[in-house]
Amino acid sequence: MSAAPEGFIAQLDQWRARMEDALSRRLPPPGRLPQRLHEAMRYSVLGGGKRVRPILLLATARALGLAEEQVEAAACALELVHVYSLVHDDLPAMDDDDLRRGRPTCHKAFDEATALLVGDALQSLAFELLARDPGLPDAPAVRVRLVGLLAEAIGSLGMAGGQAIDLQSEGRSLSIEQVEQLHSLKTGALIRASVMMGAACVPALDARLERALAGFAAPIGLAFQIQDDLLDELSDTATLGKVAGADRERGKSTHPAILGIAGSQERVRTLSEAALKSLEPLGAKADALRAVADWLLARRN
């Protein structure tokens, strides 16, 4: 956890508790057939994770004067997609990890076929929520924008594409520009969508505010991944809840590998400053979003 002020830590805890409940209510109950699949979905989604993407969306909603109830289903959709990506990423065909969020990965706790289906079903549930959840603003155009933003962020020109490039790049050295391009797809696209889906929940948002949020989200997405790579180098497995030092072990081209620790920290600072500057048109209403950015870039896990 970061050195965030106490009041903000309480806010993060409250958002996390809200998301735990919101996700639990939207996932199929564990006793429902097919029981093993539903148990594995709940095992993977509930009881862990920082909930970064839902929290970004909730803070964006606050900056725009939306009630949390109005965006809760969109926040759930983001987390469901994120967990799908983690479950698939951990499979032997990809990163082959045994530990996630401090517990055995889904394919270890269950089996590989179940883990594949968990990812598939979580992705479907995410889009079902955007299409049908009664809590979202009652405007078809809002739902269509949300579906489009999420689909674009996670497809072959977003997260899945970034993952494909990442897998192809193992053991090869990339330039810093190539690494940043890869990160902006693999991690940045969903982080950007977390902010822009909040913006999309306002039926006719002022274009200036939309641009301000887009200018915030892009550098935060990249800085978040650089911070993740710094933690992989500097932290330990117990704190991270996943195996530390894995990037170096796999010979991945990362910011710390190319720019060193101090150079990477400097890059995070520069990106963070650019992100915060972009929020200026939103004034004090965006203070929670500023606090989320500070927390993300000073986190310890």
The smaller minimum CB distance to ligand GRG, of residues 84 and 216, is found at 84
DSSP one-letter code for 86: H
The smaller minimum CB distance to ligand GRG, of residues 85 and 253, is found at 85
The smaller minimum CB distance to ligand GRG, of residues 8 and 210, is found at 8
SS (H, E, C) 245-272: CHHHHCCCCCHHHHHHHHHHHHHHHHHH
The smaller minimum CB distance to ligand GRG, of residues 35 and 156, is found at 156
Phi-psi region of 241 (alpha: psi -120 to 50; beta: other; left: phi over 0): left
- Rounded distance, CA 180 to CA 178, Å? 5
Min. distance of Cβ 239 from ligand GRG in angstroms?
12
The residue ranges that bind ligand GRG (CB under 6 A) are 49-50, 52, 82, 85-86, 88-89, 101, 159-160, 163, 186-187, 225, 228
φ, ψ (nearest 5 deg) of residue 294:
-60, -45
Min. distance of Cβ 88 from ligand GRG in angstroms?
4
CA distances from 29 to 41, 117, 148, 236 (A): 10, 16, 28, 35
- Rounded distance, CA 179 to CA 77, Å? 27
The smaller minimum CB distance to ligand GRG, of residues 49 and 256, is found at 49
Min. distance of Cβ 91 from ligand GRG in angstroms?
8
Among candidate residues 50, 5, 96, the one with its CA nearest the CA of residue 224: 50
Min. distance of Cβ 275 from ligand GRG in angstroms?
17
Min. distance of Cβ 31 from ligand GRG in angstroms?
26
